[in-house]
């Protein structure tokens, strides 16, 4: 087996991630649990796969830095691949991305999250632990804007995960560092590009956080992600990333521009055999703004508990909604994957659209005459070799050509 086979098998199992390391079993994360695939990746296989995917330039940077990230299509599946070195050699962590961008309903999120994209300006933070579906929720919010109003959306991501199609909005996706040297420079550039909505893939440094707050204050709706276990922790981490002498002004700025914070975890519903996000939602009520300005982030839990009438959600209240909900969207089952396709060296592979032949398009399914349509014969005259009609073996055949071909066959065999 090779990387193509392992990714295809992981998709069929419904895995979210695939982990490979030289000399160790290949492991997939299925419904949050690690599951071995009864295969061992050799060092030679991983070196060859890494060189093929990264290309000459990417491989040289990987050897110098010891790690690399990219998005790539493997077995027709769009993936986010992280390459890194371990004591055993090369390792690859692959996140299997959804084949298309979904809205909130298709992501099994509560419809009240749609209120986060209603304002024309302000800051929306999507937070949660690693692997909790933050990027998917962020993409769903972008798709809600894309489907509902004409906006200019600029995204800054590292790497690009979901590819959007312009619907009512115009979406410009920029990857760091391919299209901008850093998030800081990308945000500065984006403010000159007349955006209505600015999307920051992740707020990691104080400078990125400061520029994000400035953008939210100057008339843009900014969507950003952070790693945290709760809404209060997300806001606390943001403010505490700055020097103590400027934290009061940062807290005031945050309280003024905040639209909402959503923190999520993934829950497995055994009855539905489905993983769905369980969320906490904090909105900028007067009580929440006062707590943020005072820096008393530990009190935000009380604000959430008493804020249900204002549209806030605690994890426990959201859990009760999950238990009562019956309208779940299930992912389409995967029974096959696209054939292996090599990416051009040094370039990101694009998603592969695999289309299996249908009964009407497959040459082996050509219509045959039935007893009611033609008389039965015990033998057919031999057809000269020059008059043999060859049926093309392409995957897709035009229906009109196929019908004409069948008619010729019937005429030659009366």
| Cα–Cα distances in angstroms (integers) from residue 154 to residues 171, 175, 215, in the given order | 6, 11, 12
**Candidate from 64-73, 121-130, 325-334 with smallest mean pLDDT:** 325-334
pLDDT at residue 271 in the model: 84
- pLDDT-derived band of residue 333, with 50, 70 and 90 as boundaries? low
Inter-residue contact 278 to 257 (CB < 8 Å): no
Q: Mean of the pLDDT values across residues 10-38?
A: 89
> What's the order of all strands across the beta sheet hosting 274-282?
170-175, 152-157, 197-200, 221-227, 122-128, 258-269, 274-282
Q: Which residues pair with 41 in a beta bridge?
A: 24
pLDDT at residue 373 in the model: 42
Q: Taking the CA atoms of 263, 265, 266 and 267 in sequence, report the sign of the dihedral they define.
A: negative
- Give the domains, in start order, of the chain with CATH numbers: 3-96 (3.30.450.90), 111-324 (3.40.50.300), 363-412 (no CATH)
pLDDT at residue 334 in the model: 59
Inter-residue contact 77 to 11 (CB < 8 Å): yes
pLDDT at residue 398 in the model: 52
Q: Which residues, 6 or more positions from 150, have their beta carbon under 8 angstroms from its beta carbon?
A: 168, 169, 170
- pLDDT-derived band of residue 162, with 50, 70 and 90 as boundaries? confident
pLDDT greater than 90 at residue 251: yes
Percent with pLDDT over 90 in the chain: 57
pLDDT greater than 60 at residue 110: yes
Higher pLDDT, 374 or 354: 374
pLDDT at residue 174 in the model: 94
pLDDT at residue 404 in the model: 64
pLDDT at residue 177 in the model: 85
Q: Mean of the pLDDT values across residues 50-60?
A: 91
- pLDDT-derived band of residue 101, with 50, 70 and 90 as boundaries? confident
pLDDT at residue 370 in the model: 40
Q: Mean of the pLDDT values across residues 133-157?
A: 94
Higher pLDDT, 340 or 273: 273
Percent with pLDDT over 70 in the chain: 80
pLDDT greater than 60 at residue 377: no
- pLDDT-derived band of residue 336, with 50, 70 and 90 as boundaries? low
pLDDT greater than 70 at residue 326: yes
pLDDT in tens, 166-225: 999 999 999 988 899 999 999 999 999 999 999 999 898 999 999 999 999 988 999 999
User: Which one, of 295, 265, 293, lies nearest residue 280 by Cα?
Assistant: 265
């Amino acid at each position: 087996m090779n990387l193509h086979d392992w990714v295809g098998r992981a998709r069929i199992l419904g895995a979210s991630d695939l982990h490979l390391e030289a000399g160790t079993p290949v492991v997939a994360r299925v419904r949050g649990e690690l599951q071995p695939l009864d295969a061992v990746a050799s060092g030679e296989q991983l070196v060859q796969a890494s060189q093929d995917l990264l290309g000459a330039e990417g491989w040289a940077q990987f050897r110098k830095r010891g790690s690399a990230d990219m998005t790539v299509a493997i077995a027709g599946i769009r993936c986010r691949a992280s390459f890194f070195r371990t004591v055993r050699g090369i390792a690859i962590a692959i996140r299997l991305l959804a084949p298309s961008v979904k809205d909130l309903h298709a992501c099994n999120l509560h419809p009240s999250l749609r209120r986060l994209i209603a304002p024309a300006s302000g800051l929306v933070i999507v937070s949660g632990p690693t692997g909790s579906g933050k990027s998917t929720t962020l993409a769903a919010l972008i798709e809600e804007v894309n489907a509902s109003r004409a906006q200019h959306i600029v995204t800054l991501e590292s790497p690009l995960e979901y590819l959007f199609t312009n619907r009512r909005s115009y979406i410009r996706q920029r990857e760091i560092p391919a299209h901008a040297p850093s998030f800081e420079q990308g945000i500065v550039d984006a403010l000159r590009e007349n955006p209505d909505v600015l999307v920051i893939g992740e707020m990691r440094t104080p400078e990125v956080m400061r520029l994000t707050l400035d953008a939210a204050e100057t008339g843009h709706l900014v969507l950003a992600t952070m790693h945290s276990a709760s809404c209060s922790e997300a806001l606390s981490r943001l403010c505490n990333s700055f020097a103590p002498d400027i934290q009061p002004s940062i807290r005031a700025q945050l309280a003024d521009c905040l639209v909402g914070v959503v923190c999520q975890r993934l829950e497995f519903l055994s009855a539905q055999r489905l993983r769905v996000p369980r969320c906490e939602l904090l909105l900028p009520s007067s009580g929440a703004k006062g707590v943020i300005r005072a820096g008393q982030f530990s009190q935000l839990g009380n604000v959430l508990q008493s804020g249900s009438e204002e549209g806030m959600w605690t994890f426990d209240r959201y859990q009760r909604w999950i238990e009562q909900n019956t309208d779940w969207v299930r992912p389409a089952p995967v029974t096959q994957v696209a054939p292996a396709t090599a990416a051009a060296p040094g370039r990101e592979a694009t998603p592969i659209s695999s289309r299996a032949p249908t009964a009407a398009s497959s040459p082996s399914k050509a219509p045959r005459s039935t007893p009611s349509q033609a008389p039965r014969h015990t033998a057919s005259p031999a057809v000269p070799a020059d008059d043999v009609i060859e049926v093309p073996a392409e995957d897709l055949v035009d229906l009109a050509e196929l019908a004409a071909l069948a008619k010729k066959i019937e005429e030659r065999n009366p």
